[in-house]
A and B are shown apart, each in its own frame.
Chain A
Amino acid sequence: MTSIHWFRFSSPASFYPLAGKLAPWFGWAAALFALVGLAIGFFVAPTDYQQGESYRIIFIHVPAAWMAMFTYLVMAGWSAASLIWNTRLSAMMAQALAPTGAMFAFVSLWTGAFWGRPTWGTYWVWDARLTSTLILLFLYLGFIALRAAIDDPRRADKACALLGLVGAVNVPIIYFSVRWWNTLHQGASVSLTSSPKMAQTMLVAMLIMAFAAWFYTIAVALARVRHLILEREAHADWTHRLVEDAR
């Protein structure tokens, strides 16, 4: 997704068909990786001696958290591109990524709760990662809400791009401060990745699931950006021709 930076594809009209061709490939790749990852995670990886079977939810929880964070950075990258080169398409890519990023943040929190219940006895703990992910979810929602609140598309592009950059700069600060806060208060010190030695298979499964999530994000973002392109360029000639051809 980040390698598509050839300028001749930077106009919505030429990106539209490219996105259409690429999206299915990424979709199938995502499905394949997810299948393999879940198979390993649910059937092959050994039972954790401490947490039993319920820990297996981390194969969704952790990759989702990683994706939520990573997607925000990519979104910020597209935002920066749209401000520097004043391109509509970069802003549309950022807009296309936001809902998926928010979804992963939510999935991470939700699966965290399901993991938390059997493990700690409560659905929610204020540990560093969960709290940071919660704040990240708010940042995503703010981005989406600001977009929805501004009518003019170009203004919305620029305002959201600025917000995305400000948020991205703050994400490490927020993460750092939340970790500080958490360690000071000796909050739930159970951390998934620092818990007793992760078996090799568990790590492999999580990485595969992370790739699955990444390919899924690319596929969905490409599909979504096609919709956005059609919406925004509805007055242009090439969209009219598309509709004509489709008839």
Chain B
Amino acid sequence: MSAHERRPQSPDHPDDGHPGGEPRAEALPALAAIAWACRRDLLLAMRSRAELALIVVFFVLVISLFPLGVSPDPTLLERIAPGIAWVAALLASLLSLPRLFALDHADGTLEQLVLAPAALPALVAGKVLAHWLTNGLPLVLLAPMAGVQFGMQPDAIAVLTLGLLLGTPTLSWLGAIGAALTLGTRAGSALLALLVLPLAVPVLIFGAGAAEAVSSGLGAQAHLSLLGAGLIVGWVFGPLVTAAAVRIAYE
């Protein structure tokens, strides 16, 4: 379905070639829709850069709390480091999720997305992609720093980072489903956490487990492949389920 031919727009004169008010009824192709939505959300994110920095600061803060709350013993910290990094990543992504749809819902732009001449799953995929780029990817890039802070070995740090790279998109999708389901409810982010965190348990187990496996000398292939499988499933089914949830919010 090509949407390339364009007539010159003449705002005031309706006699521009289509009598009877008959426009071309064409839908935006999926890739174009993803690109549009991603670009829009990235542009909006760039306009509120301070909020992005907050997520990163929160991640580092949470990680730093554990030695204070547990013990500064290096052996212990090295053992629990992957778990801490993953829990912090989970919490940090929870923090940013409500903004994924709630702002658009409040100012009426989400309504227009639902009614746009483009597949809603594609538009949603673009939004989640932008969300991951601004919220998930920074965490992936920070992971090595966290690893060093906890005295992890280089190979474990590498696997931790790779695990986060594979797993954070899935977290974004689980979060997107939760955010869409809780649109317009009065409940705060606690409800979102209750919905998302249990579903995120497998990602947590395999992600942290991968780094631990490498630390104890076992291979992490199984963990990483499962995370990869989750990534694929997330990108295939996430858009459909999230779009359905967004439509439900307007029922």
Hey, which bits of chain A sit against chain B, CB under 8 A? 135, 138-139, 141-142, 145-146, 149-150, 152, 154-155, 158-159, 162-163, 166-167, 170, 173-174, 176-178, 180-181, 184
A127 to chain B, nearest CB (A): 15
A146 touching B205 in the complex, CB below 8 Å, given contacts A159-B248, A162-B245: no
Choose among A142, A158, A162, A176 the residue that contacts B194 (Cβ–Cβ < 8 A).
Answer: A142
Choose among B191, B213, B244, B251 the residue that contacts A154 (Cβ–Cβ < 8 A).
Answer: B251
Task: List, in ascending order, chain A residues with CB within 8 A of B205's CB.
Answer: 177-178, 180-181
Which partner residue on chain B sits nearest A167 by CB separation?
A: B199
Task: List, in ascending order, chain A residues with CB within 8 A of B191's CB.
Answer: 142, 145-146, 149
Choose among A142, A145, A166, A174 the residue that contacts B241 (Cβ–Cβ < 8 A).
Answer: A166
In the assembled complex, 28 residue pairs joining A and B whose CB atoms fall closer than 8 Å, in A order, are A135-B201, A138-B194, A139-B199, A142-B194, A142-B195, A145-B195, A146-B181, A146-B182, A149-B185, A150-B184, A150-B185, A152-B251, A155-B248, A155-B251, A158-B251, A159-B249, A162-B177, A162-B245, A163-B181, A166-B199, A167-B199, A170-B202, A174-B201, A176-B202, A177-B202, A177-B206, A180-B205, A184-B209
Interface residues on B, range: 20 to 34
Which partner residue on chain B sits nearest A152 by CB separation?
A: B251
In this assembly, does B197 line the interface, its C-beta being within 8 Å of a C-beta of chain A? yes
Task: List, in ascending order, chain B residues with CB within 8 A of A181's CB.
Answer: 205, 209
- The complex places the Cα of A170 from the Cα of B201 at a distance, in Å, of 10
- The complex places the Cα of A142 from the Cα of B205 at a distance, in Å, of 21
**B177 and A166 contact, CB distance less than 8 A:** yes
Hey, which bits of chain B sit against chain A, CB under 8 A? 177, 181-182, 184-187, 191, 194-195, 197-199, 201-202, 205-206, 209, 213, 241, 244-245, 248-249, 251
